[in-house]
């Protein structure tokens, strides 16, 4: 088999031409497209990373805000409970005080009424005794009693 | 002369009226003339209203004094 030099050279030249042609019209545009796409992907990835970072920061911020809100809510609830307990204690204490005042007032009124009733009873009893005594004396008094009384009157008249 | 009113539960005897008159004459250091009134409400004893003052020697007066002390 005879090797034809010119044929080989032609093939080599042909291959070189094809290589150059491919490189010029196919490889470079495709590489350019691929580079562009790679760059775009990198940009998008960076953008996504930036967005993720921003989202993480926002989440952290919101978590802190939420935690503070929980703390504030717990504090407000605790303070409200304390105020409610204090208010309830004040209301109970006030009610006790007023109740004791009412009881004391009722006791004073009862004592006054009892004392008044006692005085009325004593007054009525005394009145009754005097009335009865007067009637009995009027029935049983004698002239002798009268004269004795006149004598006593004259003995003590300058002392009256 | 000082006039007064002697109120008596019973009709006073002349001796009793004279004794009372002399007693008040001595007390007031003046002649005394007593007008007599009979009032059975006194029960017993006498009262003498003289020289702006009432001298009470009756059961009624004693009962009234008792009433005043007890009842007020």
Instruction: Provide the pLDDT confidence category of residue A160 given band limits of 50, 70 and 90.
Output: very low
| Of residues A134, A150, A158, nearest to B16 (C-beta) | A150
ipTM: 0.90
Query: What is the spatial distance between Cα B18 and Cα A75, in angstroms, rounded to a whole number?
Result: 108
pLDDT in tens, B27-47: 999 999 999 999 999 999 999
H-only helix segments in chain A: 5-21, 28-140, 143-156
Full DSSP string of A45-71: HHHHHHHHHHHHHHHHHHHHHHHHHHH
Considering the entire predicted model, what is its pTM? 0.54
Helices B14-28 and A143-156, axial angle in degrees (round to 10): 10
Which of A118, A154, A156 to mutate to probe the B interface, most B CBs <10 Å? A154
| pLDDT tens digits, A113-135 | 999 999 899 888 888 988 898 88
**How many CB pairs below 8 Å do chains A and B form together?**
68
Q: Are B44 and B56 in contact (CB under 8 A)?
A: no
Q: What's the pLDDT tens digit per position in A15-61?
A: 999 999 888 888 888 889 999 999 999 999 999 999 999 999 999 99
Specify whether the CB–CB gap between B18 and A115 falls below 8 A: no
Query: What are A's interface residues with B at a Cβ cutoff of 8 A?
Result: 122-123, 126-127, 130, 133-134, 137-138, 141, 143, 145-147, 149-150, 152-154, 156-158, 160
- CB atoms under 10 Å from CB of A151, counted, come to 14
Which of B44, B55, B70 faces A146 most closely, judged by CB atoms? Answer: B44
């Amino acid at each position: 088999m005879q090797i034809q030099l010119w044929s080989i050279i032609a093939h080599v030249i042909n291959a070189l031409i094809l290589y150059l042609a491919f490189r010029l019209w196919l490889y470079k545009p495709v590489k350019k497209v691929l580079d562009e796409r790679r760059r775009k992907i990198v940009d998008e990835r960076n953008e996504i990373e930036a967005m993720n970072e921003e989202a993480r920061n926002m989440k952290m911020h919101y978590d802190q805000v939420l935690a503070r809100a929980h703390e504030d809510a717990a504090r407000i609830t605790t303070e409200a409970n304390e105020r409610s307990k204090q208010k309830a204690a004040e209301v109970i204490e006030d009610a006790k005080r007023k109740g004791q005042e009412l009881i004391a007032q009722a006791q004073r009124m009862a004592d006054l009424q009892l004392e008044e009733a006692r005085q009325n009873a004593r007054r009525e009893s005394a009145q009754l005794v005097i009335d009865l005594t007067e009637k009995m004396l009027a029935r049983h008094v004698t002239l002798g009693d009268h004269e004795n009384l006149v004598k006593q009157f004259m003995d003590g008249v300058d002392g009256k | 002369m000082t006039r007064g009113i002697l109120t008596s539960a019973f009709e006073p005897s002349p001796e009793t009226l004279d004794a009372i008159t002399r007693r008040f004459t001595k007390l007031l250091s003046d002649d005394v003339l007593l007008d007599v009134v009979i009032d059975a409400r006194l029960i017993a004893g006498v009262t003498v209203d003289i020289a702006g003052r009432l001298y009470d020697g009756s059961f009624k007066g004693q009962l009234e004094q008792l009433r005043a002390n007890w009842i007020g």
